[in-house]
A and B are shown apart, each in its own frame.
Chain A
């Protein structure tokens, strides 16, 4: 289980307070689909996600972005039980999604948040935020073992 200092908890919550799930969620998934297009494999039911224009305009991509961020919101609120609260999600993904993709998604989340927070995401804040994302990624891979 990951241990958090009080300062780390504050830092993560301060970052998260600046994130509008409905605004940033679609941006993150759009970025993931454009930067890592092989993820198309996992989204066969999303319709046209084969060009940048179609990805940018795809409502299912936008919706899934919000779904992903709502699960991150849960992790922020229950930081001490991320593995437990994400066990069901991990089981849902484990036989169909290559685990490396969660790290790629994490990188895109950090970059999208960097666009929003700009200098407020200083090195120390980035370190804590990425520690948090590692915990979420580990939780998403927990049912693979």
Chain B
């Protein structure tokens, strides 16, 4: 999966250096919002004791998700190859409907707008939206 232009990659990497120190909090907040705003997504986490915003399992998994995003930033030149193992995990073990990748991406963007209101310009928004879209398509690669 090729993603974007050289400029898009530059924008994503530059924004990531600002985001990285707050990545865990961003992940936890995005996941919290997904579970509250799109309650159908709770089905994947029925084994957690507490799905409320900011709970321990939500924080832990938010950190895991953003670890995956960080990995993807590092493999931005070939997301498909770089995310093969994660794609297999989501397709065969976790069995997540790929429609949910877009839902989580939207909530990540909402959190970025809140945490970085001045830096999350339309230009940064479009580059990140394209990146998260490409990441989602790479994650869905092994489904069929």
Contacts and interface: CB of A to CB of B under 8 A. Distances in A.
Nearest to B111: A114
Contacts of B32: 123
Given A123-B32, A123-B33, A126-B33, A111 B123 contact: no
A121 B109 CA distance: 13
Interface in B1-50: 29, 32-33, 35-37
Contact of A127 (B37, B113, B126): B37
Main SS class of interface, A: helix
Interface stretch (B62-70, B82-90, B114-122): B114-122
Interface residues of B, number: 20
Main SS class of interface, B: helix
Interface in B89-111: 106, 109-111
For chain A, give the interface size range: 20 to 34
B125 interface: yes
A32 B117 CA distance: 16
Nearest to A128: B37
A36 B14 CA distance: 22
B129 interface: yes
Contacts of B57: none
Nearest to B33: A123
Contacts of A9: none
Interface of B: 29, 32-33, 35-37, 53, 106, 109-111, 113-114, 117, 120, 122-123, 125-126, 129
Interface of A: 30-31, 34-35, 52, 107, 110-112, 114-119, 121-124, 126-127, 130
